[in-house]
Chain A
């Protein structure tokens, strides 16, 4: 008699993966612009070493994005994984036309890992703030934890640029003040996103 208990290959949550991938692309483009436009984010990034690389990743082999600080600028690098099945430590991440070329995963200074696609979806859509995501252990950090504090402050400011107050205020312990100057910066960031996003999309496909 044939074994009725056959192995099951679970499917994929394609829609959530595509949404998370899109948010990474949108957020990456926005952060690159905000790092130039917003003095508070710039002040944070100025304290990071040149050549500093970081990655946001969904475990085990979900969507991800990388950044690099090069020549004093914070650049969104996008990603292209050569061999997804290789050990995560060994896989190579290729930059999308950035000045510094390839980035090897084991050389990335800071990696923020989401434990699974649901956690990433919650944090990135954004239904949950960074502190809450840490408190619920939906995020894991590999590398220098002090740097992740600085990155979290940047993300908070970025959220305030990207979303209306009623969205971001509920995600933070103390929402940043968005005066007239910040509103102008927000406008410039939105323009940068509109101009920069198509290029990033083309390079990532």
Chain B
């Protein structure tokens, strides 16, 4: 159904395929850059992935301005200031982020203070606060989940004030993203599963939340199909390069979808659970996905039924009577979670993920203040959130 009004924006060039990484210097040159700073984390370095990036610069006449490889799992204001100083001191002119959501968000944060020529990142907190053109920013994801490379948001923590600062602007979308199977091939099975479930949740929430539109639907539809076709195969055989590339593409497509149609209660609950109990985001998404779809069922049944086609395949879609398709989709999501638990130990309940039952009330309180809830089709009040959490607990 065509909404009465919608907006869609995705300016990111996607470069996908084997040896795609070797195009990095060409792409930087295209954006007028010669001296990028590489922002990454220790895990990415230890997996040898930064070596691939360094190798791509050989014979390119470019200078790597600096490699900052100490990004923690949650980006912070202090870190952004520190990297901005390195950027200025080494006369860098662009950004290359290598990693998952945290290096990407960090690069976006540093890009804000550099491009806006400001020392105070917090001045730009909120939506559409950026006024100047950003420096070139190439994103190289090493997980297939966050979709940060094509999203218009970044979250940076102010550890002194103990708040998470959201930054939302279409200027934050990467100039280009490079999806190279070499960059995700070393991901262990449980992280592959968790991050892909994050991508699946992005796609499914994008397809069902109130800001959905025909463009985001197209991306979400393709992402759901690709995750379903390749996830289990890649978890079973991590060396499957085609499968890895498909999951990376799925994550990027899901990112483009949810960046435009936003997410809902599954993300609200996931953010709160991550904040209180440090459950990895992908794990939380996998746990909450069927519960969120079920909770919203009354409002989104036709959309759930439609998603059975990409998720269950043509045969499943045709043989399931129309009125049972929504329920069947949720059953198949649960079936996938069971399969992933058996294959790589991906938790199916909050209890399995190490969440204490006493934390549920705090999580419920935090989740109703999460802005993602605005876009959820159904209202979620504190008591509702607590009920869903109890269901997901065991």
Contact = CB atoms under 8 A, between A and B. Distances in A.
Contacts of B371: 145-146, 148-149
A142 B127 contact: yes
Interface residue tally on B, bucketed by range: 20 to 34
A111 B163 CA distance: 17
Contacts of A132: 210
Contact of B127 (A135, A141, A144, A149): A141
A47 to B, nearest CB: 9
Contact of A135 (B370, B373, B375, B381): B375
| Residue from the set B127, B370, B374 with the largest chain A CB neighbour count within 10 Å | B374
Contacts of A143: 125-126
Interface in B208-223: 210-211
B375 A149 contact: no
B379 A173 contact: yes
B125 A142 contact: yes
A174 B378 contact: yes
A131 B265 CA distance: 14
B126 A135 contact: no
A150 interface: yes
A61 interface: no
Contacts of B373: 149
Contact of B210 (A135, A149, A174): A135
Given A145-B166, A146-B369, A149-B374, A174 B5 contact: no
Nearest to B127: A140
A19 interface: no
Interface residue tally on A, bucketed by range: 20 to 34
Contacts of B377: 173
Interface in A156-205: 172-174
Nearest to A148: B371
Nearest to A133: B374
B129 interface: yes
A152 interface: yes
A60 to B, nearest CB: 12
B378 A140 contact: no
B369 A135 contact: no
Given A131-B210, A135-B375, A141 B126 contact: yes
A137 B375 CA distance: 11
Interface in B119-173: 125-129, 163, 166
A149 B370 CA distance: 7
Contacts of B262: 135
Interface string B100-128: 00000000000000000000000001111
B147 to A, nearest CB: 19
Contact of B375 (A131, A141, A145): A131
Contacts of A145: 126, 166, 371
A140 B126 contact: yes
A149 B166 contact: no
B153 to A, nearest CB: 10
A137 B126 contact: no
A149 B367 CA distance: 10
A142 B129 contact: yes
Contacts of A111: 126
B375 A134 contact: yes
A146 B370 contact: yes
A123 B375 CA distance: 16
B6 interface: yes
A137 B7 contact: yes
A140 B128 contact: yes
B368 interface: yes
B5 A136 contact: yes
Contacts of B368: 149
9 contacts: A132-B210, A135-B262, A135-B375, A136-B4, A142-B127, A145-B126, A149-B370, A149-B373, A152-B374
Interface of A: 111, 130-132, 134-137, 140-150, 152, 172-174
Given A137-B211, A146-B370, 14 more contacts: A131-B375, A135-B375, A136-B6, A136-B7, A141-B127, A142-B129, A143-B126, A145-B371, A148-B371, A149-B368, A149-B373, A149-B374, A150-B369, A173-B377
